[in-house]
Amino acid sequence: MENVIKAAVRPRTRHSLKADLDALGVQKGMTVIVHSSLSSLGWVNGGEVAVIQALQDVITDEGTIVMPAQTPTLSDPAEWGNPPVPEDWWDEIKETMPAYEEGYTPTYGMGKIVEAFRSFPSVKRSSHPMYSFLAWGKNRDTILANHSLENGLGEESPLKKLYDMEASVLLIGVGYDSNTSFHLAEYRIQNQQLVPKGSPMMENGMRVWKNYMDIEFREELFEDLGNDFENELPVKKGYIGSGLTKLFSVREAVDYAAEWLENYDDKIKEHKGS
């Protein structure tokens, strides 16, 4: 913390962050999906709370703020690799893992801003046990409704609603590997491999283990994909505090990514066939 304070030109505050968001082009009434790193911003007076308040100040309740709230630990232990668990634990883990609850299940690996946003007044959460989203503002309920269990980041997910609403992506101090909207494009390309998934959920007041199918994601491609995207399509860049921030269209990102991924797969097939 001491080094962060010494490195800061001035304290980051709710008001200075709002000014930074204004300068970047974030506007009242926008629908925005936010990915963020608090540590990238420098020392912020009020931390994650001040960041969320600044976003709300700019967008207001005439717009909508959305954040992914994923819980990948609510999954089949057979899939775990970091670290793996002994196979003779799998059944007991599945039988005793607490069910996903929209109200209190914490996010995992999403950062301090998301975890604080989860408990903010008037923030709601979608129903998917692994790939839930949080939302606040005008279109909150529409975006979160009817989140399909299968294909959790696909056509029946909040990402498709954001695509249809021509929402924007805001990457605050994080790279394209954090850009969840690219996943929607993965569902739109041919020959996606389906993999079995499982999570504990509440159903009719009872905890149940639900098995379902989803595609295999390839986040390892997203950084290269994003770099090509911003070289060809408009991406606004600026700084929120000390964090490099990018603002761009969900629709343009998904459309570009679908074509990019198709071309990538075609090149792989050509290479294997040569």
CA 119 to chain centre: 17
Q: Is omega for the bond preceding 200 within 30 degrees of 0, making it cis?
A: no
pLDDT grade, residue 152 (50/70/90)?
very high
Residue 144 domain-assigned (yes or no): yes
Residue 171 domain-assigned (yes or no): yes
Instruction: Over range 119-140, report the average pLDDT.
Output: 97
Q: For 20-78, what is each residue's pLDDT tens digit? A: 999 999 999 999 999 999 999 999 999 999 999 999 999 999 999 999 999 999 999 99
Residue 152 domain-assigned (yes or no): yes
Structural domain including 143 reads 2-74+105-191+221-273
Of 73, 120, 74, 72, nearest in space to 100 by CA? 74
Element (H, E) at 158: helix 158-164
14, two tokens:
């709710």
Residue 51 has a pLDDT of 98
Question: Which residue's structure tokens are 């960041």?
Answer: 51
Q: For 64-122, what is each residue's pLDDT tens digit? A: 999 999 999 999 999 998 889 999 999 999 999 999 999 999 999 999 999 999 999 99
Residue 265 has a pLDDT of 72
Residue 200 domain-assigned (yes or no): no
Residue 83 has a pLDDT of 85
End-to-end CA distance of the chain: 54
100, two tokens:
């996903």
pLDDT higher than 90, residue 9: no
Residue 8 has a pLDDT of 53
Longest dimension (CA), the chain: 58
d(CA 46, CA 38): 11
CA 96 to chain centre: 27
pLDDT higher than 80, residue 139: yes
Q: For 161-199, what is each residue's pLDDT tens digit? A: 999 999 999 999 999 999 999 999 999 998 788 999 999
pLDDT higher than 90, residue 210: yes
Contact 223, 176 (CB under 8 A): yes
Residue 268 has a pLDDT of 59
Q: Buried (b) or exposed (e) across 129-166, using 16+ Cβ within 10 A?
A: bbbbbbbbbbbbeebbeebbbebbbbebbbbbbbbeee
Residue 192 has a pLDDT of 83
pLDDT higher than 80, residue 1: no
Residue 166 domain-assigned (yes or no): yes
Domain count of the fold of the chain: 1
Residue 98 domain-assigned (yes or no): no
Residue 199 domain-assigned (yes or no): no
DSSP 109-121: SS-HHHHHHTTST
In three-state form (DSSP H/G/I as H, E/B as E, the rest C), the secondary structure along 47-85 is: HHHHHHHHHHHHHCCCCEEEEECCCCCCCCHHHCCCCCC
Residue 244 has a pLDDT of 98
**Confidence (pTM):** 0.93
pLDDT grade, residue 6 (50/70/90)?
very low
Residue 64 has a pLDDT of 98
Q: Which amino acid is at 262?
A: E
Residue 42 domain-assigned (yes or no): yes
